[in-house]
Amino acid sequence: MLQNRSIGTPRRADEIPRARPSATLFRGLARSRGILATALLLAALPVFVRSAAAQTAAATGRITGIAVDSANNRPLVGVQVTVSGTRLGAVTGDDGRYTISGVPAGRYTIGARRLGFRAVSAPGVTVAAGGTVTADLRLDAVGLTLEAVVTTGVVDPTSGTRVPFTVGRVDAENAPVPATNAIETIQGKVAGVTVVPSGQPGSGTSILLRSPTSINKSTAPLIVVDGVILSQSFGASTADLESMDIESMEVVKGAAAASLYGSRAAAGVIQIRTKRGSNLAEGTTRVTARSEMGSNSLNGKIDWAQYHYYMTNAQGQYVNAAGAVVQRAQRVPKPITSRFQDSPYSDPIYDQVDRFFDPGQFFKNSINIAQNGGRTNWLLSLVNAKEDGVVLNSGKFEQNNVRLNLDHRLRDNLTLGFSGYHSRSDRQELYGDTFFDLINQAPDVDLRVPDPDGTPYLIQGDPNEGREENPLYVLATEENNRKRARTQGS
């Protein structure tokens, strides 16, 4: 159904309704008041901003200083200086100086780092409100570390990220304090490596990579020093290595180690490289002297039995089965049904471990001379070590080492190299049952009493009970020294 709609026509100007004069006046006044309020707010805003900025400046301080090279005290440019716990920082200029403003009052640690230098920090920098504190920084130069190149277990040197097996590497920089046994340097630094050191001076170290692979064959890894396999025919071969001479060690676990060294490396391989003069800047000679000394100690006190299971009377005297008082040599044990070790000794008792253990001292002196003359570089190392045993007057160890590494470049594509090492050591051996015999000694026997035969120690405190001999007596009457010389070169 169609509907008719009419289209309206616009009104004439004279027909449009006009606002009343009073309404127009009110609108104008409101508009004027809004403009006036905005103007007043804009005029007062700088005052508020200056007041807030003044309060902030009063609650903060500045840190300034200079960063220099510790070797020559020259200013360093481009050092990034940061304030710990904040996002504040600065970069040193051409004169090595920096300024950090707006630091909230408090105590901070200032850090600094720059490419080619070791990062340093200055703890305990206190910033006072409205004050300026000076924090000068000294940076040590350090060589840049490039991507590791693996040479152990591969035919050609290969980038560490492209090797299909795991290779652990420990450099001399990762071991600033050398271990007594050189192989112990990798302990805790390479995953999957178990190192069990021996307590006797001059003993070798037991090494296990990953897990045992045999129950009747050796599971020790193959050790290669400067391309020469370290012979283990005489045992304790790792004691002949000098930790001060080592530059780096690479550890390859699993069958990958057999790719170059065959079945002997089935349990893994440890590749050791010694220091050479080529690591120095050309035209540089470096002399390094080091002396160490110390003493041995027990980690804790060992508690020993202080009671016995022999028959005694009310006064604690030894008695026989009839109840008669007897001497110590004639004492008898309690009946089997009541044989408990709960009767205190009436005689003085001794701490056998304390009387047996000797906190001997150890000394180690070494000197290294290295030079890089451009075409020829060399290193000479001399080491003297002496360590007292942990057993009274027994178990001493003394060692003298000398190493010479020489490289000469005949032409740009031809270099001759020589590595030579000689070691001499002398160790007082302890017989195998030394500590087993110690724990079988009665606590009321003085092991340091002279024996009737003139020996400085008693041979046996309880000869009628089948106890073992006094270990001190055995060590004083037997002479068993291991003297060894090792020469190795390539």
For the chain, the three-class secondary structure string (H helix, E strand, C coil) is: CCCCCCCCCCCCHHHCCCCCHHHHHHHHHHHHHHHHHHHHHHHHHHHHHHHHHHHHHHCEEEEEEEEEECCCCCECCCCEEEECCCCCEEECCCCCEEEEEEEECEEEEEEEECCCECCEEEEEEEECCCCEEECCEEECECCCCCCCEECCCCCCCEECCCCCCCEEEEEHHHCCCCCCCHHHHHCCCCCCEEEEECCCCCCCEEEEECCCCCCCCCCCCEEEECCEECCCCCCCHHHHCCHHHEEEEEEECCHHHHHHHHHHHCCCEEEEEECCHHHCCCCEEEEEEEEEEEECCCCCCCCCCCEECECECCCCCEECCCCCECCHHHCCECCHHHCCCCEECCCCCCCHHHHHECCCEEEEEEEEEEEECCCEEEEEEEEEEEECCCECCECCEEEEEEEEEEEEEEECCEEEEEEEEEEEEEEECCCCCHHHHHHCCCCCCCCCCCCCCCCCCCCCCCHHHCCCCCHHHHHHHCCCEEEEEEEEEC
pLDDT tens for the 490 residues of the chain, in order: 334 444 444 444 444 444 444 444 345 444 545 554 454 445 444 444 444 444 555 588 999 999 999 888 999 999 999 999 899 999 999 999 999 999 999 999 999 999 889 899 999 999 999 899 999 999 998 765 544 555 554 544 555 555 555 677 888 777 777 777 777 878 778 877 888 877 777 777 778 877 666 676 777 788 888 888 887 766 667 777 888 888 888 888 766 667 767 777 777 888 888 888 888 888 889 999 999 888 877 777 777 778 888 999 988 899 998 889 998 888 889 998 888 988 888 888 888 777 787 778 888 999 999 999 888 999 999 999 998 877 877 888 899 999 999 999 888 888 899 999 999 989 888 877 787 787 778 888 888 888 888 888 888 877 766 677 888 888 888 888 888 888 888 8
Tokens of 481: 């020294």
All domains in the chain, ordered by first residue: 60-139 (2.60.40.1120), 149-274 (2.170.130.10)
At 11 the pLDDT is 45
At 62 the pLDDT is 93
User: CB-based burial of residue 398 (10 Å sphere; 0-12 exposed, 13-18 middle, 19+ buried)?
Assistant: middle
At 159 the pLDDT is 53
The pTM score is 0.60
CB atoms within 10 A of CB 377: 22
At 43 the pLDDT is 47
At 466 the pLDDT is 62
Is residue 383 within 8 A of residue 364, CB to CB? The reply is: yes
At 53 the pLDDT is 44
CA 208, CA 104: separation in Å to the nearest integer? Answer: 54
β-pair partners for 318: 312
